[in-house]
Amino acid sequence: MNPRLAAARALTGVLAGKTSLASSLPLQLERVNERDRGLVQELAFGTARWQPRLSILALELLSKPFRKADLDVEALLLVGLYQLLYTRIPAHAAIAETVGCATALKKPWAKGLLNAVLRRAQREAETLLPALEKDPVVLTAHPRWLQKSLKAFWPEDWLDICIANNSHPPFTLRVNQQQFSRDAYLALLSDSGIAAQPTAFSPVGITLVTPCDVNLLPGFADGAVSVQDEAAQLAAQLLLLEPEQRVLDACCAPGGKTCHILESETQLREVVAIDLEPQRLERVQANLERLKLSATLRAGDARALDEWWDGQPFQRILLDAPCSATGVIRRHPDIKLTRQADDIAALAQLQGELLDAMWTTLAENGVLLYATCSTLPTENTEVIAAFLARTADACELPFAAPFGKSQAHGQQLLAQVGGHDGFYYARLIKQAART
């Protein structure tokens, strides 16, 4: 299969709001030659990253919008525009190969349309885009609701956030401190000809100058390092882990933080990790096995305590709550297409329900760390403020942090070009009953 067609087919369901690239792309990758899979990923992710801008440019070039039945042709056009504007693929090759894919769609009329629009884009895009960029959606390549939300919540930072969201994410590792110090592993990388540098805030983080296959990393198969963004690495140290504690990792998949907890404190009594979907726990188990670690895995809704909790309290809880994922758009650019403004209130409701449920399982004087990969205060500071207002024995346990921005409650990290993802942390302690 032509890699452009594979990318367009992966994007069609995303444009329709029916799937994500994480779900649709693997199937398409199986249908192309192995040597073309990197190109398919680049075209799919790149087109999704710039879709708000590309779609408005397409409307400017078209005589009328596409019908819903022709989303596949629209997706193919966007893939073509992405090649012309954001890749080094020669224009003649990008146009010819993209137009040729129309035959497989069994829509012969699309060939003429795609050819005309893409050739016009080749000639006129440089003059059209500056005028279109008066629209913040085109300027930032963010959907209007998200652009307006970021501007409202972060008036001094919103443009930088958008720039970071449109950048390629760094390739960051977490060193297994039970096997290597960070300096020792940096030396191993240097000996292997892999350029890298330490992260700014995580004491066990390393960022590669150039991404590489994990199998090329020294000791990866034996658990020396794991791939994990720097912001996510901060959770383990914020939990204040001590020997003999019973720890809960709620909403744990894919298990990076579960493993980091176990690496950070080897004398824990038990780590229980739960996730809603049993299939997602398979990845958690695979990560545990590679790192030679052990945890108690439970599948189910964290709010349904009767289904999984044995009644024994936890001294530490990590609640990495489901969220809009607006802090990791650069890793999942299709969030721009699939997430809607109406989703945020529903997510905040779920986050509050999870907090209430997890609090029941927390021991007196125990610590709960609330985390999201969202940059929207609706899911962060506002959720924590509401929880504190309705929970008499909850008190915030602040932390002095060299990272992020201090909020009324908690600490907000905004995505940084070349640095960490967008993330939020708030730490709560359960006060002992007064006598």
Task: Give the residue numbers marked as catalytic.
Answer: 373
Task: Name residue 105's amino acid.
Answer: L
**Residue 410: phi, psi to the nearest 5?**
80, -170
Where helices occur in 133-229 by DSSP H, the ranges are 136-140, 144-153, 158-165, 182-191
Strand 394-396 relative to strand 196-198: parallel, antiparallel, unpaired? unpaired
Answer whether 245's CB lies under 8 Å from 315's CB.
Answer: yes
Answer whether 230's CB lies under 8 Å from 172's CB.
Answer: yes
Q: Which residues pair with 249 in a beta bridge?
A: 273, 318
Rounded Cα distance, 129 and 135, in Å:
10
H or E stretch covering 423: strand 423-430
- CA geometry: angle 121, 126, 130, nearest 5 deg: 120
What are all long-range contacts of 116-120, with beta carbons under 8 Å and residues at least 24 apart?
117/58, 117/61, 117/62, 117/77, 117/80, 118/77, 118/80, 118/81, 118/84, 118/94, 119/95, 120/61
DSSP state of 218: T
Rounded Cα distance, 423 and 320, in Å:
10
Answer whether 404's CB lies under 8 Å from 413's CB.
Answer: yes
Taking Cα atoms as reference points, which of 221, 291, 297, 222 lies closest to residue 256? 291
Task: Name residue 8's amino acid.
Answer: A
- Give, rounded to a whole angstrom, the gap between the first and last alpha carbons of the chain: 72
Buried b or exposed e, range 359-394, using 16+ CB within 10 angstroms: bebbbeebbbbbbbbbbbbbbbbbbbbebbeeeeeb
Rounded Cα distance, 220 and 139, in Å:
40
DSSP state of 380: T
Q: Which residues pair with 206 in a beta bridge?
A: 173, 198
